Amino acid sequence: MNKYDKNNFHDLQLLIYDALNGTISAERLASLEEILRNDPESRRYYIEYLSAHAGLRNIFSVDQASDASVPDDGFDKGLWHDLAEYEKSAPAIQIEKPAEKPVVLKLTKPEKTKYKVSKLSIYSVVISAAAILLVVLMVIVKPVRPTVAALTDSMNAEWMNVKDNPAPGDLFRQGDELALTRGIAEITFDDGAVAIVEAPVVFKIESPKSMFVTAGKMTAIVSEYATGFTVNTPSASIVDLGTEFGVSVEGDGLCSLHMFKGKANLISEANGNKRTSQVVVEYEAKSVNFTTGLIKDVTLDERGFVRRFNAENGTVWRGQNLSVANILAGGNGLDFEASYKMLSLESGQYSGVFNWQDRYGTGQYTVVTSNPYVDGVFVPDNDGQGAKVSSSGHVFADCPDTQAYFRYDIAMSVKIPLNPQSYQYNTLAPEEQMVRLAGSSNMPSRLVEPAGMNPQLNAVRSNVLLHANSGVTLDLERIRSVCPGVSITKFHSLFGMGEMAPEGGETDIWILVDGQRKFVRQNVRKGEVLDIEVELSEKDRFLTLMVTDSGPNSNNPTETLHANYDWGLFVNPRLELE
C-alpha cells in the first residue's frame, strides 16, 4: 500500500488549498516549497491534486448560472437536515494557532508586496485567536465569481470549452473565458452595455462593465446610461464615452478600433511603454501596435463588424444600407444585388417572365402576399377619390388623373446585352427586347442605367423599372424587423429614363410616405438624372414609389398613350440606416 491508498497528504492538500484560495501565509508557503523540493511523491500528489482542481473547474465552468444555482426554494430540506446533523457531529475545528510570525492574508490580489507587513499590523493580528478566525472567515467569505452578464441572443452559435451550448437567458460569471467558434452572440452586461461577438473570437467576461478580447472581433453598443463600458485587449483599452464601435484583435497583437457612433477613449497599453490615450470620434478608426504601443490612423471598416442581427429571420446587419431592389425582388435588402424578377401590377404575384400586354388599371390596390416587406402594387389614377396606396387605407388625394394605362410589370435588376446594336430588332419594341434578353445568362450583360449616366461594363448596380403608370408600396414597419434597433432614416435613389428607351418619353416621379407626398418631379425627360433623398422617421409606416405619365388624360384608346417610352428607372434605390 503506497501513500495514495490512504490520505497521507492531509497537511499537503490543506497547504495547496490555501494557496489556491490565496490564504496561505508566507511560512506555510515556505513549508509547501520545502515539501515540493524534497519529496518526489508529494510533488506527484501536488500535481495530481491541482490537476483534479483544474478538471473540476473545467467540467463545471461556464455552466449556465440560471441552471446551475441552487434555488433556495428548491433546496433539499432533508439534505439540509442531514448536513446540520453532520455539523453537530463533525470533529471539533482546530483553530490554527498564531504562527511564530504573523499570518498575512489577502482579500484580493492586487498588492504585490503582501509579505511585507508593518509590525503594527502584525501585533494587531496576533492579539487573539478570535481575531485570526475572523480574518480567516473574511477571506473565505470573499464573493466568488458573481454573475455579471447574460447571453441575450445568439444565431447559429457554437461555443468551445463550454459543457452545454449557452442559450439566450443564460448568465455568465465574472472571469468566464469564452470562445465562440461559429455564429454570432449578443451579450448584455449588467451595467447595460451590449457586446456582439462574431466567431471566431476568444474573450473573457471581466466585470459588469468590462470585457477582455484576446482574439477576434466584437461590436460594443453602449447607451448613454451605460457610458464607461471598457473593452480591454492585449494592446489597448477602449473606454466608451457613449457610443457604438467595433474592436478587432488580429494576430501580431494589432488592435483596431472602428468608431461607428459617438466617441471613445483609446488607451495604448503596450509592453512597458508609456501609456498614451486618444479620443476617437465617429467615423474614425485607429490601430494600436502591441509591441510599440503606437496609435495610428486606419481606414474605417464600415462593413466589417456585425452591428445587429435577428436570429428569428436569420438576418445579419453589418452597417450596410438596405437595397430596395433586393427587397422588391423578394430579398431582405441586405444583399445588394437583386435577382431578375417581375412583380405583376394586376395580381401582385412574382414571375420570371416579362409581360408586355397593353392593360388598364381598375383603380384597385393589390396586396402582395408573397413578400412580407412589400405591401402592395397599384396603377395610379384618380377619378376624384384619390388613389389608395396602402393596405391600411392610405389615400393619395393629389394623385394625378392618368390614362391608367400600363404595359410592363415592375421589373427588378433589369439587364441588357453589352452591345445594344446587336439586338434582333423585329416586331418587338427595343425595351421589350432588352428585358427579354436580360434573362439570358450566357450573354454578356450589364444592368440597365438611365440615360445620362456613363455606361459601365458589368457595373454592380441594382435597379427597379417602374414604367408609367405603376406604383408600389413598401412596408417600413416590417422592413425594420430585418435590423431591430436600427433606424431607417432616408430613402435614397437615382432616377432617370432607361437609356435604351426611345426619345420622346416624359414621366412624373412621386415618392409618398403614408399617402403624403414627400417628393415629386414632373416631366422628367430622357437624359435627366435625379438624385432623390426622402427623410424618413420611426413613425413612418409605408413608403410608396410611383411613376405616372405626363400629359392630358383620357381613357380613350384611340388617343396617344402618354405612358409610351416612360421607362422610369430607379438606380441603387436604398433605405439608409443608422
Partner 1 sequence: MSDNLENSSNMGERSKTELFVKLLTSNHHRIYAFILFMVPNDSDADDLMQETSSILWEKFAQFVPGTDFAAWAMTIAKYRVLNSRKKKKLTVPLSNDVIDLLAGESEKVLDESNERFAALRKCLAKLDKREMLFVKMRYKDGFSARIIGQRIGASAKVVYRSESKIIGLLARCIHRKLAMEGAR
61 vs 388: CA distance, rounded Å: 60
Q: Can you tell me which residue has the cell 383603380?
A: 363
- Whether the CB-CB separation of 500 and 420 falls below 8 Å is answered with yes
Q: What would the grid cell of residue 265 be?
A: 477613449
Minimum CB distance to partner 1 smaller for 59 or for 130? 59
Q: In whole angstroms, how close is the CB of 279 to partner 1 at the nearest point?
A: 25
- Whether the CB-CB separation of 452 and 482 falls below 8 Å is answered with no
Q: In whole angstroms, how close is the CB of 54 to partner 1 at the nearest point?
A: 4
Query: What's the distance, CA 105 to chain centroid?
Result: 45
Binding of partner 1 by 82 (CB under 8 A): yes
- Whether the CB-CB separation of 150 and 172 falls below 8 Å is answered with yes
Q: Binding partner 1 by CB under 8 A: which of 41, 106, 432, 436?
A: 106
Identify residues 336-395 at the interface with partner 1 (CB under 8 A): none
Q: Binding partner 1 by CB under 8 A: which of 165, 207, 214, 481?
A: 214
Minimum CB distance to partner 1 smaller for 187 or for 546? 187
Q: In whole angstroms, how close is the CB of 81 to partner 1 at the nearest point?
A: 9
Q: In whole angstroms, how close is the CB of 333 to partner 1 at the nearest point?
A: 25
486 vs 577: CA distance, rounded Å: 6
Q: How many residues bind partner 1 (CB under 8 A)?
A: 93
Minimum CB distance to partner 1 smaller for 187 or for 476? 187
User: Which distant-in-sequence residues (6+ apart) come within 8 Å of 463 by Cβ?
Assistant: 325, 338, 412, 413, 414, 447, 448, 449, 569, 570, 571, 572, 573
Q: Residue 414 is which amino acid?
A: V
Q: In whole angstroms, how close is the CB of 160 to partner 1 at the nearest point?
A: 4
Minimum CB distance to partner 1 smaller for 74 or for 352? 74
Q: What is the DSSP string of 529-552?
A: EEEEEEE--TT--EEEEEEEE-S-
The residue among 547, 568, 393, 425 whose CA lies nearest residue 495 is: 568
Identify residues 227-256 at the interface with partner 1 (CB under 8 A): 233-234, 249-253
Beta strands in 326-459 (DSSP E): 341-343, 350-351, 359-360, 365-367, 374-378, 387-388, 395-396, 405-406, 410-412, 415-417, 445-447
Q: In whole angstroms, how close is the CB of 372 to partner 1 at the nearest point?
A: 32
Instruction: From 85-93, 223-231, 458-466, 554-562, give the range in contact with partner 1 by CB under 8 A.
Output: 85-93
Minimum CB distance to partner 1 smaller for 109 or for 274? 109
Q: In whole angstroms, how close is the CB of 214 to partner 1 at the nearest point?
A: 5
The residue among 371, 322, 335 whose CA lies nearest residue 492 is: 322
Identify residues 113-142 at the interface with partner 1 (CB under 8 A): 113-114, 133, 136-137, 140-142
Q: Can you tell me which residue has the cell 503506497?
A: 2
Q: What is the largest CA-CA distance in the chain?
A: 116
Q: In whole angstroms, how close is the CB of 6 to partner 1 at the nearest point?
A: 9
Q: In whole angstroms, how close is the CB of 200 to partner 1 at the nearest point?
A: 4
Cβ-based burial of 502 (10 A; exposed 0-12, middle 13-18, buried ≥19): middle
Q: Binding partner 1 by CB under 8 A: which of 29, 241, 298, 534?
A: 29
43 vs 209: CA distance, rounded Å: 40
User: Which distant-in-sequence residues (6+ apart) come within 8 Å of 175 by Cβ?
Assistant: 145, 204, 205, 206
Instruction: From 199-207, 339-347, 450-458, 566-574, give the range in contact with partner 1 by CB under 8 A.
Output: 199-207
The residue among 164, 108, 113, 165 whose CA lies nearest residue 139 is: 108
Identify residues 149-188 at the interface with partner 1 (CB under 8 A): 160-161, 173, 175, 177, 179, 181
Per-residue mark of binding to partner 1, 39-78 (x: CB under 8 A) = -x--xxxxxxxxxxxxxxxxxxx-x-x--xxx----x---
Q: In whole angstroms, how close is the CB of 9 to partner 1 at the nearest point?
A: 6
Per-residue mark of binding to partner 1, 511-530 (x: CB under 8 A) = --------------------
Binding of partner 1 by 17 (CB under 8 A): yes
Binding of partner 1 by 99 (CB under 8 A): no
Identify residues 431-460 at the interface with partner 1 (CB under 8 A): none
Q: In whole angstroms, how close is the CB of 254 to partner 1 at the nearest point?
A: 9
User: Which distant-in-sequence residues (6+ apart) come within 8 Å of 132 by Cβ?
Assistant: 95, 96, 98, 103, 125, 126
Minimum CB distance to partner 1 smaller for 78 or for 384? 78
Helix (H) or strand (E) holding 232: strand 230-232
Q: Binding partner 1 by CB under 8 A: which of 89, 120, 143, 421?
A: 143
Characterise 333 by phi-psi region: left (phi > 0), alpha (psi -120 to 50), beta (else). left
Minimum CB distance to partner 1 smaller for 21 or for 349? 21
Q: Binding partner 1 by CB under 8 A: which of 131, 134, 144, 279?
A: 144
Q: Binding partner 1 by CB under 8 A: which of 90, 120, 130, 353?
A: 90
Minimum CB distance to partner 1 smaller for 95 or for 418? 95
The residue among 242, 154, 239, 228 whose CA lies nearest residue 191 is: 228
Q: Binding partner 1 by CB under 8 A: which of 229, 290, 350, 396?
A: 290
